[in-house]
Amino acid sequence: MPDQQHGAVDADHSRPPGLDDGTVEALGELSKALETIHRVRGHLYAAHQLVGGADLTLDRVVELLREAGHDEMADRVEEELLGRNLLPGRWTFQIMEEFDDGYYAAFQEIERDAREKLAGGRRHIYEAEMKQRRRTHGMPGHEATPAEA
């Protein structure tokens, strides 16, 4: 049964007793920031794959330049670009590992710790309450949970 005072959609997303609006909003913003970092991680992995693909394409570039008689340019591509670090001492896989093990892991741990300590581990309380405010109760497609559909 939804919490009538705060409008939670189900028990997993209801506000624990005594949890104030400011804390719910802060946890919602922290969750939103973490979701952005998840997207950043995806973009970094996309860059990792794109850079790797470009590096592998350089093999063909070197081959084509040599076939066309441009050995000096082929040598330059092969020596200066092929297998080059993206950042000093790092290929993209190393950047990804550092990101995953450092910033990303810390961000996830802090968001999880805040939820555990402040909201009994419940996720998306802010969004669940927003859903209750924004949906049209009783209308098809506006059910609070899949069980109501």
Model pLDDT for residues 55-77, shown as the tens digit of each residue: 999 999 999 999 999 999 999 99
**Comparing C-alpha atoms, which of 20, 19, 17, 24 is closest to residue 128?**
24
**Comparing C-alpha atoms, which of 30, 40, 41 is closest to residue 123?**
30
For the segment 91-121, what is each residue's pLDDT rounded down to a tens digit? Answer: 999 999 999 999 999 999 999 999 999 999 9
Looking at residue 63, its pLDDT comes to: 98
**Comparing C-alpha atoms, which of 52, 53, 33 is closest to residue 106?**
33
pTM, full prediction: 0.84
**Residue 115 contacts residue 29 (beta carbons within 8 Å):** no
Looking at residue 98, its pLDDT comes to: 98
Mean pLDDT, residues 19-37 taken together: 97
For the segment 115-135, what is each residue's pLDDT rounded down to a tens digit? Answer: 999 999 999 999 999 999 999
Mean per-residue pLDDT of the chain = 93
Name the residue ranges covered by the structural domains of the chain. 19-136
What letters, b where the CB count within 10 A reaches 16 and e where it falls short, cover 2-16?
bbeebbbbeeebbbe
